[in-house]
Amino acid sequence: MDDHELEGSTTEGYKVGEKKTIDELKNLDADDEALNKWKASLGLATGKQIGDPNDPRTVVIEEIALLVEGRPDIAVDLTKGNALEELKSKPFTLKEGCEYRMRVKFRVQHEVISGLKYVHVVKRKGIKVDKSEEMMGSYGPNTETTPFYSKTFAAEEAPAGMLARGSYSATTRFTDDDKKDHLTYHWAFKIDKDW
């Protein structure tokens, strides 16, 4: 899959801010009430930061899950060594026309992440059939009081009909305002008449 297919678009009128360290952000305009509320929303003033000093990643995706009303969640623990390979080699099945959501559980360490974004491209027989992206937001490093973040994405509907049934491949990327690739993975699924 070409990298340009996974590139996130830019939002008109949105300007990427200057990157600052956590200490710079904490001390920035201490008398600005709105800015202090924003800093508090990032957890910059709450608790001791947690993270592995030997792990250079800033965003650590721990789990992805497929949520379908009335069915058990299909959760994949990405902290296990071969989880990403299994996503690609062991497709899961969606019933045609069902409504589903994706959820991600993640940690942020070392610095504030600005404009974290989820970009998702689906192909069938090598032809792109869908692309979606969703802005996740900005996050401060996790603390003891907030050990991880969780984000559930907007509901999507699986295609329906005989022509929609079959195998699909997908690529998902988590990126940010700095266009840093935090995780890209490939996975597969099937659309079938029934579960």
Q: pLDDT tens for residues 1-56?
A: 555 566 655 666 666 667 766 666 656 666 777 766 766 666 665 668 788 899 99
Both structure tokens of 17: 């801010």
Name the helix (H) or strand (E) containing 6. helix 3-6
Q: What gap in Å lies between CA 186 and CA 120, rounded to an integer? A: 10
CA 107, 110, 113, 119 dihedral sign is negative
The CATH number of the structural domain formed by 3-10+17-192 is 2.70.50.30
Residue 84 phi/psi, 5-degree rounding, is -65, -35
Each domain of the chain, given as residue ranges in start order, spans: 3-10+17-192
* Per-residue pLDDT of the chain in tens (195 residues, 90 and over written 9): 555 566 655 666 666 667 766 666 656 666 777 766 766 666 665 668 788 899 999 999 999 999 998 999 999 999 988 999 988 888 989 999 999 999 999 999 999 999 999 999 999 999 999 999 999 999 989 988 889 999 999 999 999 999 999 999 999 999 999 999 999 999 999 999 998
pTM beyond 0.85: the answer is no
What is the per-residue pLDDT for 143?
Answer: 87
Contact yes or no for 79/177 (Cβ under 8 A): no
Among the listed residues 49, 67, 147, the one whose alpha carbon sits nearest the alpha carbon of residue 104: 67
Predicted local distance difference test score (pLDDT) of residue 20: 65
Distance CA 130, CA 122 (A): 5
Please give the Cα distance from 174 to 179 (Å, whole number): 9
* Residues 32-58: b if buried by 16+ CB within 10 A, e if exposed: eeeeeeebeebbbeeeebbbeeeeeeb
